[in-house]
């Protein structure tokens, strides 16, 4: 179960807005997290708490395919991102590092900045604790939940290979 406060943004939030290009020479996730979303929300990195949720309109993560974008979001403590739709390369990069994403336009339309949500990845249920409304996103298949639970594709692959050797 994921539970957190919503930080809501509009449509077409690109990877330059998530982590500005001027920080791409930084490889430390903790340092990257200090600059997460700063070009569209200068206070985000200072107020986000572990477990909080980013919510956005359509095409979240569009733009360049930089892996820094989902990495800085995860390092900032964000537990998941819910959007109307995601840019496909951002979606893949996020799953590869174990950052869960859910597509649910109804939740985006009916949730305000600052609302509190509970999210169940296994079922796709999104409960807005501030309004009482419940939304349904498509849940991940079991193997993708395994990737997320493992912390990313590399860790998942290591676990799978280790299990085969036993």
What is the pLDDT at residue 160?
87
Is the pTM above the cut of 0.85? yes
* DSSP code string of the chain: -EEEEEEE--S--BHHHHS-GGGTT---HHHHHTTTTTTT-TTHHHH--TT-EEEE-TTBTBSS--THHHHHHHHTT--EEEES-B-HHHHHHHHHHT--EEE-HHHHHT--TT-EEEEETTTTEEEETTT--EEEPPPPPHHHHHHHHHTSHHHHHHHHHHHHH-
What is the pLDDT at residue 133?
98
What is the pLDDT at residue 107?
98
What is the pLDDT at residue 165?
82
pLDDT along the chain (166 residues), means of 10: 97 96 92 96 97 98 92 97 97 96 98 98 96 96 92 91 83
What is the pLDDT at residue 162?
85
């Amino acid at each position: 179960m994921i539970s957190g406060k919503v930080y809501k943004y509009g449509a077409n939030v690109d990877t330059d807005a998530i982590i500005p290009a001027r920080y791409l020479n930084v490889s430390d996730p903790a340092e990257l997290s200090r600059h997460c979303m700063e070009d569209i929300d200068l206070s985000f990195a200072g107020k986000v708490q572990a477990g909080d949720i980013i919510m956005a309109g359509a095409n979240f993560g569009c733009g360049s395919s930089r892996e820094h974008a989902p990495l800085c979001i995860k390092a900032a403590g964000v537990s998941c991102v819910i959007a109307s739709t995601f840019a496909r390369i951002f979606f893949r990069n996020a799953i590869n590092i174990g950052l869960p994403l859910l597509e649910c336009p109804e939740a985006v339309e009916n949730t305000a900045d600052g609302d509190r949500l509970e999210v169940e990845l296994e079922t796709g249920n999104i409960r807005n604790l501030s309004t009482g409304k419940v939304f349904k996103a498509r849940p991940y298949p079991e193997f993708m939940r395994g990737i997320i639970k493992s912390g990313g594709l590399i860790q998942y692959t290591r676990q799978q290979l280790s299990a085969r050797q036993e």
